[in-house]
Amino acid sequence: MNKGKLFVVSAPSGCGKGTILSEVLKKNKNLFYSVSATTRTPRDGEIDGVNYYFLSKEEFKMEIDNGGMIEYAQYCDNFYGTPKEKVIEKLEQGIDVILEIETNGAMQVKRAMPEAVLIFILPPSVFELRRRLNKRGTEEQDVIDKRVKEAEDEILKAHNYDYIIMNDELDKAIEDFEAILKASKLTNENNKNMIEEVLKNA
């Protein structure tokens, strides 16, 4: 049996990444979405264990020290990281896994697991990104300013990703995402066993 594929998705906040991913996950029930750990405080409506595992700084540090994270990074004064155990378990079971993480973490994953597929979602423009963040209204102005600056830095790192999706039209972005999932499963590397099987049944 083939191992599952690891997909790493990054996008500056406000790019519609959450909406795209929830649609893709709804349509592809066999994908496992990895819930991250974070030290930031929950936003309204966010549930521990569903949106994130909300940890104290001490708990987070302990996870790192115990080797429990695949990657971690500091982002806007908080720590975010991917708990290792579930991800490895699912991949071993042949289940594809999605990590929704920022760019520093994504680069760590690519170094540790070069076979991971990295996808970057772009906003139509930085201007539009700021407009969306203002409209969402979940952050104060100074936090928004910080996030826009962070977004510009992150967009520069999109060059290091395998695939780029522009989210100027939601349906098209979802379609593009699913095309990447499908194509990634059809690579030669992923189907070595199939070639052998075909030859065996002569």
Q: Which residue is nearest to ligand 5GP (CB)?
A: 105
Q: Which is nearer to ligand 5GP, 80 or 177 (CB)?
A: 80
C-alpha separations of 165 from 30, 103, 150, 172 in Å = 22, 15, 19, 9
Quick check: 123 binds ligand 5GP (CB under 6 A)? no
Token pair listed for 158: 């999109």
- Encoding tokens for residue 104? 């520093």
Cα–Cα dist 20/23, whole Å: 5
Is residue 75 close enough to count as binding ligand 5GP by CB under 6 A? yes
Task: Look at the alpha carbons of 186, 190, 194, 195 in this order and tell me if their dihedral is positive or negative.
Answer: positive
When binding is defined by CB under 6 A, the residue of 6, 7, 71, 90 that contacts ligand 5GP is 71
Binding residue for ligand 5GP (CB under 6 A) from 20, 63, 82, 148? 82
Q: Which of 13, 39, 167, 184 binds ligand 5GP (CB under 6 A)?
A: 13
Give the containing element (helix H, strand E) for 76: none
Determine if 40 is a binding residue for ligand 5GP (CB under 6 A): yes
Binding site for ligand 5GP (CB under 6 A): 13, 36, 40, 71, 73, 75, 80-82, 100-102, 105
